[in-house]
Copies of this chain bind each other. A is one copy, B any other.
Amino acid sequence: MYADIVGPDVGDVVNEQSVLILPVGAVEQHGPHLPMSVDDVIATETATAVVSTFGDEHDLWQLPTLSISKSNEHAWCPGTLWLSPETMMSVLRDIGRSIATTRAERLVLLNGHGGNTTLLVTALRELRLEFGLKTFLVHPSLPPAYGGTSTEVELGMGIHGGLNETSVFMHLRPDLVDLSRAERKVPEKIASNAHVKFGGSVSFGWLSNDFDDVGYIGDPTGATAERGAELFRHAVTTIGEQMNEIRAFNFGR
């Protein structure tokens, strides 16, 4: 863990080859079958597994998870904790500014909450421009709206508390999942759209209660811990491969 380094030793321990990883979680409603901690747990557990598995090989250092982030699509649901986009960007800038004082050149954001994705990509450039860092964004599971895939049974729209996310969380925290409170909540209506849909060519602004007031979008009814374990292992393996490329990444010049 990065924070367990001795302050005056940072200059020796962290060097130009080191990769710093900032897990980004969320505390936000995920429907009645999941706790608010889902994204926070997944981001942290994935980062921990990645660092545990590949840390020595790739000189990875895990930063403290940013547990509360930009969850304002769930602002309607009491309990959700959310930062405004301005606050979130300021936090990222402050962290980037801090890291730039070390010899480390590479910062990876490991994001567990799809609602952060575009803001984080925007931040990648800001931190590069302002502090000269090489910056990267990885996901345990890439959101459909940003190039990822979702299951066919969910018509590609299992984007929040759906089959895959619920399965992964069942693997990580089985006692915190209650599938008896879940049902199929796929916005079938927009599935027939060619463009305006999740993962379509037209992005659109939405809140998680725009489609239905249950607060989740997808069909978690078939979720299993086994499926989750498989997805989790795959995510860790994939991020390991990504870290391999990130560590070697240099611009062409």
Q: Which residues of A contact B (CB under 8 A)?
A: 1-11, 14, 25, 27-37, 40, 63-68, 72-75, 77-87, 89-91, 93-95, 98-99, 101-103, 115, 117-122, 124-129, 133-139, 142, 146-147, 176, 178, 181, 187-190, 193-196, 199, 201-207, 210-215, 238, 241-242, 245-246, 249, 251-253
Q: Is the CB of B7 within 8 A of A31?
A: yes
Contacts of A245 in B (CB 8 A): 193-196, 202
Give 19 A-B pairs besides A120-B203, A204-B249 with Cβ atoms closer than 8 angstroms: A4-B35, A4-B37, A6-B181, A7-B31, A68-B91, A73-B125, A73-B129, A75-B101, A78-B103, A81-B95, A83-B91, A85-B126, A87-B90, A134-B205, A138-B202, A147-B201, A187-B252, A188-B252, A213-B253
B195/A241 in contact, CB under 8 A: yes
Instruction: Determine the residue in chain B with the shortest Cβ distance to A7.
Output: B29
A34-B8 in contact given A118-B121, A252-B187 (Cβ < 8 Å) = no
- CA A251 – CA B72 in complex, angstroms? 18
Q: Are B36 and A77 in contact (CB under 8 A)?
A: no
A40 touches B64 (CB 8 A): yes
